[in-house]
């Protein structure tokens, strides 16, 4: 009798342990199994050891059609000058009006790179009550971007929420001080109840993540009024930054095209990367050409071994093509609508 009671209670204990939430499981020093959804599964292929990766659905709904018809021209517009940028809006979102185009020197003082400029634009739609911050990718060639991402591993504190990559921090501050801060204060004053849509591709994607976070930290906008969608975003901040970001923004999507190399940079497990950089939620992974009707994964983990991390063969071509559109020249052509 006593013996069976002991066995029973051990069994109950084991079940309780197994049914723990991923967060509680990790907090108690165990590992959570993504495959079995159990705490401390003895056999586990994909074991989760970081709370940032505890599987869950996003708080907002990803809309593929909106991404390709609205967000794509928004980040496409940042790759060109003010006149073509307005064409991007006229062709795709006619009530959207360019407000300000900001271009600054964002060279790192380090001698490794030549002069680099960073650019972004703001726009206003008074019909749909939307403000836009859209950040440009580098325009001096893809190699430069690779170099930046590979050589600059230094980090700076991001307010009280972890660290971000120094190059992104400095580039963002150059834009902020170069007119963005004044512009966002003006827009907030004029349109206090508008939503803020923040976006970018590549380097612009990292700056968009920083920008959305910055206007919240600066107390200018509430996270509930902000929507962030990035394409081909490199790892931008460390664990604390990304955990804060995903606990703060309900609407934050990180679109990744198939084998795009940039979301894997800086590589999470390379030797130089002492404090590892992590992505925040929610990755939307298209493992195809992203043409209309393509399927996509709404990834359950922030930066785990699901979704794009399954791909070991990485591609630059996938980085420059999003939503079946060659981003080289897309903005300069005024973001032509797909037929």
- Give me the least distance between CB of 138 and ligand NAG, in Å please: 15
Q: Is 30 exposed, middle or buried (0-12, 13-18, 19+ CB in 10 A)?
A: middle
The answer to whether 312 contacts ligand NAG (rule: CB under 6 A) is no
- Give me the least distance between CB of 319 and ligand NAG, in Å please: 26
Instruction: Determine the Cα–Cα distance for residues 103 and 109; give it in Å rounded to an integer.
Output: 18
Binding test (CB under 6 A) with ligand NAG, winner from 47, 69, 107, 139: 107
The answer to whether 61 contacts ligand NAG (rule: CB under 6 A) is no
Stretch that binds ligand NAG, among 123-131, 141-149, 155-163, 248-256 (CB under 6 A): 248-256
The answer to whether 115 contacts ligand NAG (rule: CB under 6 A) is yes
Report which DSSP code applies to 277: E
DSSP 27-57: HTT--EETTTTEET-SS-SSEE-SGGG----
The answer to whether 111 contacts ligand NAG (rule: CB under 6 A) is no
Show the CA angle centred on residue 160, arms to residues 71 and 26, nearest 5°: 85
Q: Is the Cβ–Cβ distance between 334 and 91 less than 8 Å? A: yes
Binding test (CB under 6 A) with ligand NAG, winner from 9, 28, 49, 59: 59
Using the minimum distance from each CB to ligand NAG, give the nearer residue, 55 or 336: 55
DSSP 203-271: HHHHHHHHHHHHHHHTTSS-GGGEEEEEESPPP-EEHHHHHHHHHH-SSEEEEEETTBSGGG-S-TT-T
Q: Which residue has the tokens 């001080």?
A: 177
The answer to whether 21 contacts ligand NAG (rule: CB under 6 A) is no
Is the preceding peptide bond at 275 cis, omega within 30 degrees of 0? no
Size of the site for ligand NAG (CB under 6 A): 9
The answer to whether 154 contacts ligand NAG (rule: CB under 6 A) is no
Stretch that binds ligand NAG, among 43-51, 125-133, 246-254, 310-318 (CB under 6 A): 246-254
- Give me the least distance between CB of 174 and ligand NAG, in Å please: 8
The answer to whether 127 contacts ligand NAG (rule: CB under 6 A) is no
Using the minimum distance from each CB to ligand NAG, give the nearer residue, 10 or 250: 250
Binding test (CB under 6 A) with ligand NAG, winner from 29, 109, 111, 192: 109
Task: From 287, 295, 292, select the one nearest 324 (Cα to Cα).
Answer: 292
The answer to whether 83 contacts ligand NAG (rule: CB under 6 A) is no
| Site residues (vs ligand NAG, CB under 6 A) | 59, 105, 107, 109, 115, 247-250
């Amino acid at each position: 009798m006593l013996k069976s009671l002991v066995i029973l209670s051990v069994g109950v204990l084991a079940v309780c342990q197994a049914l723990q939430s991923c967060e509680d499981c990790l907090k108690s020093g165990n590992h959570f199994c993504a495959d079995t959804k159990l705490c401390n599964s003895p056999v586990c292929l994909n074991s989760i050891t970081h709370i940032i990766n505890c599987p869950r659905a996003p708080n907002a709904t990803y809309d593929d059609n909106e991404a390709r018809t609205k967000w794509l021209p928004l980040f496409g517009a940042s790759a060109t000058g003010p006149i073509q940028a307005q064409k991007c809006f006229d062709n795709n979102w006619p009530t959207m009006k360019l407000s300000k185009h900001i271009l600054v020197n964002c060279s790192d003082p380090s001698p490794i790179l030549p002069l680099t400029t960073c650019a972004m634009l703001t726009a206003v739609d008074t019909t749909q009550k939307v403000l836009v911050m859209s950040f440009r990718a580098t325009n001096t060639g893809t190699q430069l971007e690779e170099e930046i991402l590979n050589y600059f591993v230094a980090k700076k504190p991001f307010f009280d929420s972890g660290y971000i990559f120094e190059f992104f921090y400095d580039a963002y501050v150059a834009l902020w001080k170069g007119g963005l801060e004044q512009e966002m204060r003006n827009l907030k004053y004029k349109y206090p109840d508008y939503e803020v849509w923040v976006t970018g591709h590549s380097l612009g994607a990292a700056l968009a993540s920083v920008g959305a976070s910055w206007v919240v930290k600066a107390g200018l906008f509430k996270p509930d009024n902000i929507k962030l969608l990035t394409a081909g975003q490199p790892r931008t901040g460390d664990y604390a930054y990304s955990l804060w970001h995903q606990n703060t923004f309900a609407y934050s999507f990180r679109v990744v095209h198939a084998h795009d190399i940039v979301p894997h940079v800086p590589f999470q497990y390379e030797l130089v990367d002492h404090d590892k950089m992590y992505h925040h939620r929610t990755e939307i992974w298209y493992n195809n050409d992203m043409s209309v009707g393509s399927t996509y994964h709404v990834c359950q983990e922030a930066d785990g071994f699901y979704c794009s991390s399954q791909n070991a063969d990485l591609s630059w071509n996938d980085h420059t093509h999003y939503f079946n559109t060659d981003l080289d020249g897309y903005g300069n052509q005024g973001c032509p609508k797909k037929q």
